[in-house]
Amino acid sequence: MTRCVALLGGSFDPVHNGHVALAELFAHLLHPDELRMMPAGRPWQKKSGLEALDADRVAMLKLAFAGSAAPVVVDTREIDRQGATYTVDTLRDVRAALGPEASLVFVMGADQLMKLDTWRDWQSLFDLANFGVAARPGYRLDDVALPAAVAAELASRRASFDDVRASPAGKVCLAHTLAVDISATQIRAALHAGKGADLGALVAPQVLDYIQQHNLYKS
């Protein structure tokens, strides 16, 4: 049986329940052998820098996914890499490490799919991995809503979750069932304003405890 590894990248500054819900949705749909969380090093599309230290973001990820039913690994290759972080480089690294037969599924929200054609070498990403895309409030997954180039690329690639799990790369599965709308920006703003107590529905309690104990996101 083909080994399946689901990859979820992001700044995770901080990790929140939206990240956890996205990862758990695809863990349920794909039954991957491994769920790999990949905190970004220096994401080139983010205009402002990361607030939390790399070690703190890794620690918060481990806390957030401590109770996950799927085997979770925190992969720090993007943090360890010097310079700007590009997904295409990361996927090349992971593909080289796991071999040509493994099914790699890069998981993202619909908001990221909307700008996929701005990513470096974006069309070559499909040679390296499959994609799992989840709906988000305010973002549609139909072709009319997508940039024309992205819609054209996806047209022949859409597949069932089982087909994606069995394929090394090149296929796309869409999940229309995720209705979580949480942003790390809003969470940082609340923490800066001293309103961390109001974030219980957005951030795991163990992550909030870590943030408070380490005095993160203070204004």
Domain range summary for the chain, segments of one domain joined by +: 4-181
Nearest one of 132, 138, 91 to 113, comparing CA atoms? 132
pLDDT of residue 60: 98
What tokens appear for 57 in the block?
């973001």
pLDDT of residue 90: 95
Q: What digits encode the pLDDT tens for the residues 201-214?
A: 899 999 999 999 99
Architecture of domain 4-181: 3-Layer(aba) Sandwich (3.40)
Q: Which residue type sits at 27? A: A
Q: Please report, in angstroms and rounded to a whole number, the separation of the first and last CA atoms in the chain.
A: 50
Q: How far apart are CA 106 and CA 193, in angstroms?
A: 34
Q: How far apart are CA 66 and CA 38, in angstroms?
A: 15
CA 69 centroid distance within chain: 18
Overall average pLDDT of the 79-98 stretch: 92
- What percent of the chain lies above the pLDDT cut of 90? 74
Q: What digits encode the pLDDT tens for the residues 128-184?
A: 999 999 987 777 777 778 899 999 999 999 999 999 999 999 999 999 877 677 889
What tokens appear for 61 in the block?
């990820």
